[in-house]
C-alpha cells in the first residue's frame, strides 16, 4: 500500500512528461507511438530507498519499467563489472547508446549502456519486430 509520500501529483507528472518529451527515458518510445500513457519511473526504485521526488522521477514505457523492476545495477558483460544503470535524468542517451544500422536494436556504447541494454531487455524479440515495422513505416528510430 502506498502512502502520501509515494503520490505523484498531476502537475508533477505533467512537468516530468514535458521534460522527458513524452517518451521513455530508456528505449525512447514515445507516448504517441505507444498509444497509451507512459509510467512514472523511480530511477532509484522505492524498494532500493528511492524517493518520490522530481530528481528521482522520469518517464518510462511499461516494458522498460517492468524489466527494470528494483534493479539499480547490472553486469557489463564486456568488462565483467557491475555498474549503475543508465539515469535518463542525469545522463545523455546518445553518449551511452546508439542504434544499430537497421534502427531496430539499441547498442550500448559504454559499460553503463551495455549493462542497461541487458538488464532492461531493450532488444527483446518482440520489440525488435515492432521496431522493424516502425522503421518500415518511417516512424523509427527517433531522429534527435
What is the pLDDT, as a whole number, of residue 1?
A: 41
Give backbone dihedrals phi and psi of 57, rounded to 5 degrees, phi first.
-120, 145
Angle at 129 between CA 92 and CA 140, to 5 degrees: 45
Instruction: Collect all residues with Cβ–Cβ distance below 8 Å to 114 and sequence separation of at least 6.
Output: 76, 77, 78, 108
Question: Strand 81-84 and strand 97-99: pairing?
Answer: unpaired
Residues 38 and 17 sit within 8 Å (Cβ to Cβ): yes
Angle at 54 between CA 10 and CA 73, to 5 degrees: 125
Residues 50 and 41 sit within 8 Å (Cβ to Cβ): no
What is the pLDDT, as a whole number, of residue 34?
A: 92
Instruction: Collect all residues with Cβ–Cβ distance below 8 Å to 73 and sequence separation of at least 6.
Output: 82, 83, 84, 85, 115
pTM value is 0.93
What is the pLDDT, as a whole number, of residue 15?
A: 97
Please list the rounded mean pLDDT of every run of 10 residues in the chain (144 residues).
68 97 97 94 95 97 96 96 97 98 98 98 97 96 87
- Give the CA distances from residue 127 to residues 26, 36, 61, in Å, rounded to whole numbers and listed in that order: 13, 16, 12
CA proximity to 88, closest of 52, 125, 58: 58
Domain boundaries, the chain: 4-137
Amino acid at each position: 500500500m502506498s502512502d502520501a509520500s509515494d503520490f505523484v501529483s498531476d502537475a508533477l507528472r505533467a512537468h516530468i512528461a514535458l521534460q522527458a518529451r513524452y517518451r521513455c527515458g530508456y528505449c525512447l518510445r514515445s507516448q504517441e507511438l505507444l498509444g497509451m500513457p507512459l509510467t512514472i519511473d523511480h530511477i532509484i526504485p522505492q524498494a532500493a530507498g528511492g524517493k518520490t521526488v522530481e530528481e528521482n522521477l522520469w518517464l518510462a514505457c511499461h516494458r522498460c519499467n517492468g524489466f527494470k523492476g528494483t534493479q539499480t545495477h547490472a553486469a557489463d558483460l564486456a568488462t565483467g563489472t557491475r555498474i549503475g544503470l543508465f539515469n535518463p535524468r542525469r545522463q545523455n542517451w546518445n553518449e551511452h547508446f546508439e542504434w544499430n544500422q537497421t534502427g531496430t536494436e539499441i547498442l550500448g556504447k559504454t559499460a553503463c549502456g551495455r549493462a542497461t541494454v541487458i538488464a532492461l531487455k531493450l532488444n527483446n524479440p518482440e520489440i525488435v519486430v515492432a521496431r522493424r515495422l516502425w522503421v518500415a513505416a518511417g516512424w523509427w528510430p527517433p531522429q534527435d
